[in-house]
Each structure stands twice: as structure tokens, then as C-alpha cells.
Amino acid sequence: MSTDHRVAVVTGAAQGFGRAISIGLARRGVDVVAVDLSASEETLKEVEAAGARGVGLEADVSDPETTGRLAALLDAEFGRCDILVNNAGIYPNKRFSDVDYDLWQRVLHINLDSQFLMAKAVVPLMARGGWGRIINITSNSVALPAPGLSHYMASKMGVIGFTRGLANDVGDSGITVNAVGPTASLTPGGKAHIDPEVIASLSTTQAIKRPGGPDDIVGTVLFLASEDSGWVTGQTIMADGGLARL
């Protein structure tokens, strides 16, 4: 699954899935632009230790101004963009009765609008090179009875719809667009919002009976970022140990 000499943008790269994906790409020869609200210093150290080039961008990916900053950075530093992993997101668990309109908007803005904005930033660069891979992180919760997540599930189902629609629009430019749906996992974000006992309990109903972690979706992302996935687009893969079976 050759990805040598490519340039990737990974959002939410400072920790969790984003950090693991950034390191996985770097180990396969991909230079990484790590985008996060906070500094991605530890991620960048690992990227460079793997022999790839790492560049950090501290930015709010739900802010339209980030689009221009990112496009300018990519053009100046690399002159290209080949891979986008839209990973940034939030996971506030609240019953519908406690979800106000501000929270509803915030969740959709960060989890869904950001993916649109980041795609707008990189698609022209990908089209210019005639090759691109966009991987949007959704969630297996859209296929599960998960209370307290109506706002989150709406945003993540929107990611699936956006993935399918964007795949139609950019396929002729040599760009594929797919989504990956992890389960509730032992990431820093997961631990902050989900009782670890709940994660452990969920794992007992999976085909692979152990809690998931950041490294467990990396292989799926790497495949979708590679040459070998060139005939796969508009798809959603649940990388969740066999919990959601669609």
C-alpha cells in the first residue's frame, strides 16, 4: 500500500485517533500537516522520528478562515496535498432534553461543517495533481441504540451523506472520498466523556471482544489513503471490532 512521497493533512492531530493516524502515515513515507486547536508537538516529534516531515498548524477547523490559512500553508511548504483525514470532532453526551440549540449548532459546526471547510481547502490542490484521498471520520453510533447522542449522531450521519455526495463531485479529478466509523474507544476524548466501564461493556458484544484504542483504525485509514483503494469511493467502513454490522 504505497503512500511514499505524499502529503497528508490530519485534523485533530494532537491526540487520540488523529495522532495515531499521523504517525501511521509518517511510517509509510507520508509528510504530515498536523492541524489542531492546540499544539501537536508530540505528534510532530513522532512523525519526524519516523523519517517524515511534520508541520503543525494551530487552528479551529470549524472557522472558515482556516481554509485560506491551510491552503496557503500547503502551497508554500509543499506545493501539493494528497491526503486529507477529517478527524477533528467533539462528543458531548447529553440527553435530548438537555441539548439546547447552541450545543446542537456547536456539535454540527465542529463535527460536520469542519469537514466541508477542510475539503474546500484541499480539493483544488488534489485536483491540480490529479490524485487525492479524503477520509472522513464518522462513528458507528449511527447504527447503534445510543442514548444521549441525538446531536452527535446527526452530525456523524451528516458526515456519511457528505462523503457520498462529495465522492460523486470529485471522482473525475482522481479523488476518492470515504468514511471510517470507529466505536467508543479508549482515546483521551473517549475517556473524558464515556465511562471506561461502558466501553468495556460494549466490547463484550463485539465480534472482537476487547475495547478499541487509537491504533485500531489506523490500518483502515492507511488502506483508504493508498493507491490500492483507487476503486473504492463513497463508502463507509465501520472499524469497530464488529459491533455495528451493516
Give me the residue spans of the domains in the chain: 7-181+215-239
Beta strands 7-11 and 83-86, pairing class: parallel
CA separation for the pair 91, 187 (Å, rounded) = 12
Residues 23-43 have a mean pLDDT of: 96
Whether residue 22 contacts residue 6, with contact meaning beta carbons closer than 8 Å, is answered with no
Edge-to-edge strands of the sheet including 175-182?
A: 54-58, 31-36, 7-11, 83-86, 132-137, 175-182, 236-239
Q: Is pLDDT of 243 > 60?
A: yes
Q: Which residue has the cell 473525475?
A: 172
pLDDT at 145: 86
Residues 80-98 have a mean pLDDT of: 95
Taking alpha carbons only, the member of 39, 74, 37, 44 closest to residue 59 is 37
How confident is the model over 71-85, as pLDDT tens digits? 999 999 999 999 999
Whole-prediction pTM value? Answer: 0.93
Catalytic: which of 17, 91, 152, 162? Answer: 152
Q: Which residue has the higher pLDDT, 196 or 126?
A: 126
pLDDT at 201: 74
How confident is the model over 173-226, as pLDDT tens digits? 999 999 999 987 655 665 555 666 776 777 788 888 888 888 999 999 999 999
DSSP string, 100-166: -HHHHHHHHIIIIIHHHHHHHHHHHHHHHHT-EEEEEE--GGGGS--TT-HHHHHHHHHHHHHHHHH
How confident is the model over 106-119, as pLDDT tens digits? 999 999 999 999 99
pLDDT at 46: 98
Active site residue 101: no
Q: Facing residues of 179 across strands?
A: 136, 236
pLDDT at 2: 55
Determine the CATH number of domain 7-181+215-239.
3.40.50.720
Residues contacting residue 87 through CB under 8 Å, at least 6 positions apart: 10, 11, 12, 13, 17, 18, 21, 137
Q: Is pLDDT of 86 > 80?
A: yes
Q: Which residue has the cell 478499541?
A: 212
> For the chain, what percent of residues have pLDDT higher than 90?
76
The overall average pLDDT reported for the chain is 92
